[in-house]
Amino acid sequence: MDPILEIRHLSKAFGGIKAVNDVSFCLGKGELLGLIGPNGSGKSTCVNLISGAYIPDSGQVLFCGKDIQGSNICQRARMGIGRTFQTPKPFNGLTVYDSVYTVALQSCAYKEAADKTEEILEMMELADLSRMFCEKLPIEKRKWLDMARILANDPKVIMLDEVMAGLNPAEMEESIRLVRKLNESGISIIFIEHVMKAVIKLSHRLVVLNEGKLLCGGDPEEVMRNESVIKAYLGG
Ligand code: ADP
Ligand code: MG
């Protein structure tokens, strides 16, 4: 595998809690990797360590083969590491168009930013809603808008943290289709999800965390048949 992102022996504790405990895994170029595990197993902490929101106690994050420990969250975003938050943070008071356009403007001239915004809204199927104010968007579309805003930074990697939470089955199908579309456009994805059906459907490979530790990884169907995974999910 040709990795775009690699984490090596990453650890982070909060007080006495080892949220992430000596975890190593990598994300291949073009891969859609599912990161799963019970509540509190360290998934979001991993995302925060990779994005640069948290500084690890030990371990390394490599992006395109380069150790990025010295780079802060903004520098990592500019390098092409994007992430969503478990709770979408729409820009209240801005339209759908403007909330993407303002991000695009950070790296493009006016006209280029406008073209880019239109292209992204088209891709994320938000073009018809471009004049709507963000706070009026239904929850499902807010998550898509969140992704649209990340796309305006030209990410190479996107980490999606529980974007399926709270969606009904039809909305979930739509979201699965969109995540796949993003991946097929060439973006490598770490997909963190509680909804197993979505994870198994989408992921090329799974990595399972439990109590901060790497439990196992591999082919999705095989991983879901693994006894230690079943036990972790049943709280055994
Ligand atoms: P997951 O995303 O898998 O549900 P988290 O990474 O959010 O798990 O949390 C892992 C553990 O670390 C949990 O016990 C959680 O309470 C703890 N934790 C996460 N973030 C913080 C924080 N900022 N301060 C203190 N404890 C935290
Ligand atoms: Mg989480």
Residue 236 binned pLDDT confidence (cut-offs 50, 70, 90): low
Ligand 1 atom 27 nearest Cα: 14
Give the nearest ligand 1 atom to 48 CA. 6
Which pLDDT belongs to residue 167?
A: 87
Which pLDDT belongs to residue 163?
A: 85
Which pLDDT belongs to residue 201?
A: 85
Percent of all residues in the chain with a pLDDT value above 90, rounded to a whole number: 74
* 204/218 Cα distance (integer angstroms): 9
Q: What is the pTM of this model?
A: 0.93
- Beta-ladder partners of 7: 25, 61
| Domain housing 227 | 3-95+157-233
Residue 118 lies in a domain: no
How many Å from the N-terminal Cα to the C-terminal Cα in the chain? 34
Does residue 12 have its Cβ closer than 6 Å to ligand 1? no
Residue 74 lies in a domain: yes
Residue 41: give its domain's CATH number: 3.40.50.300
Does residue 42 have its Cβ closer than 6 Å to ligand 1? yes
Which residues are placed with Cβ below 5 angstroms of ligand 2, an ion?
43-44
Q: Mind listing the pLDDT tens digit for each residue in 183-209?
A: 999 999 999 987 777 888 899 999 999
**For range 3-30, the mean pLDDT:** 97
Residue 88 binned pLDDT confidence (cut-offs 50, 70, 90): low
> For strand 66-67 and strand 58-63, is the pairing parallel, antiparallel, or unpaired?
antiparallel
Query: Domain count of the chain?
Result: 1
Mean pLDDT of the chain: 92
Read off the tokens for 223: 């991983």
Among 7, 20, 23, 44, which is best to mutate for testing ligand 1, by the most ligand atoms less than 8 A from CB? 44
